[in-house]
Amino acid sequence: MVTWYSDYLYFHSDEPANMLRDRYKELMVAHKNGFMNIVLKDNIWIKKAFSFYTFGQVIIDNSEIFPSTFTKVLDLYKTDAQFRSCVEFDCKNAPHGLGEKEIMFILEEITTIYLAAKGKLNFNNRFVPGTEKWVLHFYPGKPLKSEVCLFQKNPLKLSNPKNKFENGSYDLENKKYYDYLEIDLESFNFSD
């Protein structure tokens, strides 16, 4: 299992970098240690099967694909009114608001989720290198409208048939899987 933290994305903020770094460093360490303490209580789990990365590590390890894909997603944002509207919806419904930094945050985040689900990111799992058969994005809450829109538009025409979860995510709060290709962007309630 690979977990990656979006710490790097929070630098799209007006807060001083040193404060952000310290805050997210402490959160990441506490989360990882808490998670591993739960896992290691049961002897069935193998510690090395769990990997933890920061957003920056994921980008560096995938420097051949992330920049060019992000450029295409950014171009989609600039040229596609529906996609732009979905990104702006997500920004307005988040506590951080709508601005260039917030837009970049969301675009970078959904680009990595898109690439991961489509099997294009390498996570360098030290226990099972190169054997990832599927990626399931999970998060507490419903998916972002812009994320669903990106998967529906599939601007790079990517396909990952070995990943049965390539077009969706799992909501940890509601214990529900969302298939992005089945969601109507106009009628689905993304807010609650």
CATH code of the domain covering residue 57: 3.40.50
In a domain, 12, yes or no: yes
In a domain, 14, yes or no: yes
pLDDT at site 114: 96
Q: Whole-model pTM? A: 0.83
In a domain, 189, yes or no: no
Q: Is residue 111 a contact partner of residue 48, using CB atoms and an 8 Å limit?
A: no
Q: Which of 143, 131, 120 is nearest to 62 (CA)?
A: 120
pLDDT at site 169: 94
Count of other CB atoms within 10 angstroms of residue 120: 18
Q: Is residue 151 a contact partner of residue 188, using CB atoms and an 8 Å limit?
A: no
Place of tokens 């940890």: 172
Q: What is the DSSP letter of 181?
A: G
* Structure token digits, residue 74: 């950014």
In a domain, 192, yes or no: no
Q: Give the residue ranges of the chain where pLDDT is below 50.
A: none
Total count of domains within the chain: 1
pLDDT at site 49: 75
> Rounded CA gap, 146 and 117, in Å?
15
Dihedral (CA of 94, 96, 98, 101) sign: negative
pLDDT at site 24: 75
In a domain, 101, yes or no: yes
Structural domain harbouring 116: 2-182
* Burial class (CB within 10 angstroms; exposed 0-12, middle 13-18, buried 19+) of 160: middle
